[in-house]
């Protein structure tokens, strides 16, 4: 099937560049190619475009433009936030970091690296069966040497939204810095970093209509951070390296469009999400992983017990439909999702879970077509891969849950 | 069942690793058993992951079983009784 005939339902992985964004990028690839650090007209033009993007992105996040540092994406923003805070705070003897058990690998792996290479102490706070962190449990993890807490705004696999405002408030009371990985939330739900009260907030452009390779980190007060990347004086001296001008321009325009269309996009996504949420009722032995209400408007994570997710995803792919596996699953290896295991799913339930994430342009007709195809595919895969005598699992069946993975 | 459909055998395609792993070998045995139980109505074809045909299925986890063009399972040995029911459903189309 030609690539442009596919039905794409993996918007949490990435999405297309918005047409209005695509229109503004082109000159920056051809005629307006200056280096923003250069003093002549072409350089000033690029500089002005970067600053325009900073203003547009600041409006999306509810902050001052000067509080934004452009990065190569969400992963770099998360790295900068965590390493920048740690290398500054560790000198004062504060080496304890607190994260949730469902953070993105760019947060977890960075914290693990700081633990193994630089003597950080790490606490992972568990989540409930919907994937939510209890702010009180986060506060209970704080110690006198706690430097920073990092809890994501929305989970990439389940879409579950975290009480980031309450966590930031508790962190502030305890004198702890708070970082929010907002990669999945920004552009999809209303974000106001001032209202949240966090110190650091990461975003990625390609999740809301921008290009891959551009993102930003909101920094409430840059004086408390040690910057890991050395070089030129770009980004107020906070992030060295020639700016990715086309990517940054795209980020700004995408932020403007996402803010303008936020309510309409949310309504459109909720309509198509409802079709997939409904499958938890329609397909036997199936349930939705995630919070019933506090969830991204575009994300449904479904556990279709005894229908191996990899088989289902590939079977749909052959028929032109793209849906996601849990992000922990590599292309050639089946490993249960760490996020779903942390929510209490058994190994088998986690390996039978798929993620459907829609976008503003997903049509109801396509959603209904895929829902029907998914139902048929699950039945086929179950028939061929299920043990012969498995019976029927109800919602309380131990097949769904097998205890949580160990978190400190 | 239409007479036209009755003449069309169901194709069981196995995509196996190169060299074949134990699970791929077990899967060959399951497919052959299903085919032998329905002489003339089921064909079995085996290709390896080295074969260009695999590209159309995206990332491949072996053994992968494709029934009349639709992926039935990947990375696991199919259950014979389930596969027989799937073949019966295809023959009845």
Strands A215-219 and A68-71, by their bridges, are antiparallel
Q: Name the superfamily (CATH) of residues B3-84.
A: Glutaredoxin (3.40.30.10)
**Scanning every residue of chain A, which has its alpha carbon at the shortest distance from the alpha carbon of B64?**
A311
Confidence (pLDDT) at A330: 45
Tell me A387's DSSP state: -
- As a CATH number, domain A3-14+263-385 is 3.90.1150.10
Confidence (pLDDT) at A400: 76
**Scanning every residue of chain A, which has its alpha carbon at the shortest distance from the alpha carbon of B31?**
A384
- The answer for residues whose C-beta is within 8 angstroms of residue A233's C-beta and 6 or more apart is A37, A240
Which of A378, A383, A388 should we substitute to test contact with B (largest number of B Cβ atoms within 10 Å)?
A383
Q: Which residue out of A63, A269, A303, A329 is catalytically annotated?
A: A329
Confidence (pLDDT) at A328: 47
- Chain-centre distance for alpha carbon A107: 11
Element (H, E) at A8: strand A7-9
CA distances A315 to A303, A320, B72, Å, are 16, 9, 7
| Interface touch A380/B72, C-beta < 8 Å | yes
Q: Which among A314, A319, A384 has the least Cβ separation from residue B79?
A: A384
Residue B1 scores a pLDDT above 90? no
Residue-wise over A294-321: b if at least 16 C-beta within 10 A, else e? ebbbbbbbbbbbbbbbbbbbbbbbbbbb
The Cα angle at residue A386 between residues A382 and A389, in degrees rounded to 5: 125
Omega before B88 within 30 of 0, i.e. cis: no
Q: Taking residues A176-202, what's their average pLDDT?
A: 98
Using one digit for the tens of pLDDT, what is the confidence trace for A228-271? 678 988 998 889 999 999 999 999 999 999 999 999 999 999 99
Tell me A47's DSSP state: H
Using one digit for the tens of pLDDT, what is the confidence trace for B6-21? 568 999 999 999 898 9
Q: Taking residues A270-274, what's their average pLDDT?
A: 98
| Interface touch A311/B74, C-beta < 8 Å | yes
Strands A121-125 and A96-100, by their bridges, are parallel
**Taking a C-beta distance cutoff of 8 angstroms, is the pair A151, A202 a contact?**
no
Q: Which residues of B touch chain A, with CB atoms under 8 Å apart? A: 56-61, 64-67, 69-76, 78-79, 81-83, 85-86
Provide, as residue numbers in chain B, all residues whose Cβ is less than 8 Å from the Cβ of A315.
70-72
Confidence (pLDDT) at A389: 56
Residue A1 scores a pLDDT above 90? no
Pairwise pLDDT comparison (A396 vs A308), residue with the higher score: A308
Give percent of chain A above pLDDT 70.
92
Confidence (pLDDT) at A408: 30
**Taking a C-beta distance cutoff of 8 angstroms, is the pair A288, A280 a contact?**
yes
Tokens 């930003």 correspond to A216
CA distance B57 to chain A (A): 6
- Every domain of chain A and the residues it spans: 3-14+263-385, 19-260
Burial class (CB in 10 A: 0-12, 13-18, 19+), A2: exposed
Question: What distance separates the 2 farthest-apart alpha carbons in chain B?
Answer: 40
Please give the class, per CATH, of domain A19-260: alpha beta
Residue A2 scores a pLDDT above 80? no
* Strands of A25-176, DSSP E: 68-71, 96-100, 121-125, 146-150
A381 touches chain B (CB under 8 A): yes
Q: Which among A310, A317, A388 has the least Cβ separation from residue B81?
A: A388
Using one digit for the tens of pLDDT, what is the confidence trace for A360-384? 999 999 999 999 999 999 999 999 9
A63 is catalytic: no
CA distance A375 to chain B (A): 13
Q: Nearest to residue A128, comparing CAs of A96, A91, A101? A: A101
| Mean pLDDT computed over every residue of chain A | 92
A263 touches chain B (CB under 8 A): no
A380 touches chain B (CB under 8 A): yes
**Taking a C-beta distance cutoff of 8 angstroms, is the pair A302, A397 a contact?**
no
> Does residue B40 come out as left (phi exceeding 0), alpha (psi in the -120 to 50 range) or beta?
left
- Every domain of chain B and the residues it spans: 3-84
Using one digit for the tens of pLDDT, what is the confidence trace for B31-70? 999 999 999 999 999 999 999 888 888 777 899 999 999 9
Provide, as residue numbers in chain B, all residues whose Cβ is less than 8 Å from the Cβ of A322.
none
**Taking a C-beta distance cutoff of 8 angstroms, is the pair A254, A205 a contact?**
yes
Residue A407 scores a pLDDT above 50? no
Using one digit for the tens of pLDDT, what is the confidence trace for A134-187? 999 999 999 999 999 999 999 999 999 999 999 999 999 999 999 999 999 999
Confidence (pLDDT) at A395: 67
CB atoms within 10 A of CB B86: 26
């Amino acid at each position: 099937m030609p690539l442009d005939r596919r039905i794409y339902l993996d918007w949490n992985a990435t999405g297309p560049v918005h047409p209005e964004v695509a229109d503004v990028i082109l000159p920056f690839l051809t005629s307006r190619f200056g280096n923003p650090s250069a003093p002549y007209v072409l350089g000033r033009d690029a500089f002005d475009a970067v600053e325009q993007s900073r203003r547009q992105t600041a409006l999306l996040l509810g902050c001052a433009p000067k509080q934004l540092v452009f990065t190569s994406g969400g992963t770099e923003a998360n790295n900068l936030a965590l390493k920048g805070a740690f290398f500054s705070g560790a000198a004062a003897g504060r080496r304890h970091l607190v994260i949730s058990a469902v953070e993105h690998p760019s947060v977890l792996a960075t914290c693990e690296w700081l633990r193994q290479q630089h003597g950080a102490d790490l606490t992972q706070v568990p989540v409930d069966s919907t994937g939510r962190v209890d702010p009180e449990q986060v506060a209970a993890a704080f110690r006198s040497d706690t430097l920073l807490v990092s809890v994501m705004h929305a989970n990439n696999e389940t879409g579950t939204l975290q009480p980031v405002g309450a966590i930031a408030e508790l962190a502030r009371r305890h004198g702890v810095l708070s970082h929010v990985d907002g990669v999945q939330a920004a552009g999809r739900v209303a974000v106001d970093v001032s209202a949240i009260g966090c110190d650091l907030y990461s975003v990625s452009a390609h999740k809301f209509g921008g290009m891959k390779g551009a993102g930003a980190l909101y920094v409430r007060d840059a004086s408390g951070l040690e910057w890991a990347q050395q070089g030129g004086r770009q980004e107020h001296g906070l992030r060295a390296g020639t700016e990715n001008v086309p990517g940054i321009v795209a980020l700004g325009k995408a932020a403007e469009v996402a803010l303008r269309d936020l309510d309409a996009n949310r309504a459109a996504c909720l309509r198509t999400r409802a079709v997939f949420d409904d499958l938890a009722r329609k397909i036997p032995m199936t349930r939705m992983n995630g919070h019933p209400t506090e969830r991204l408007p575009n994300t449904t994570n479904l556990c279709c017990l005894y229908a191996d997710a990899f088989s289902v995803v590939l079977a749909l792919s052959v028929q032109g439909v793209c849906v996601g596996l849990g992000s922990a699953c590599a292309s050639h290896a089946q490993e249960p999702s760490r996020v779903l295991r942390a929510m209490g799913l058994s190994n088998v339930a986690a390996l039978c879970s798929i993620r459907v994430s829609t976008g503003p342009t997903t049509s109801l007709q396509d959603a209904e077509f895929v829902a029907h195809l998914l139902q048929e595919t699950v039945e086929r895969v179950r028939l061929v891969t299920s043990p012969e005598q498995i019976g029927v699992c109800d919602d309380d069946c131990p097949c769904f849950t097998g205890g949580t993975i160990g978190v400190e | 069942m239409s007479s036209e459909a009755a003449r069309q055998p169901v194709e069981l395609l196995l995509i196996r690793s190169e060299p074949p792993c134990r699970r791929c070998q077990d899967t060959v045995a399951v497919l052959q058993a299903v085919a032998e139980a329905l002489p003339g109505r089921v064909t079995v074809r085996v290709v390896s992951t080295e074969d260009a045909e695999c590209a159309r299925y995206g990332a491949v986890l072996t053994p992968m079983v494709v029934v009349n063009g639709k992926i039935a399972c990947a990375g696991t040995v199919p259950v014979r009784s389930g596969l027989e029911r799937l073949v019966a459903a295809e023959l009845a189309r």
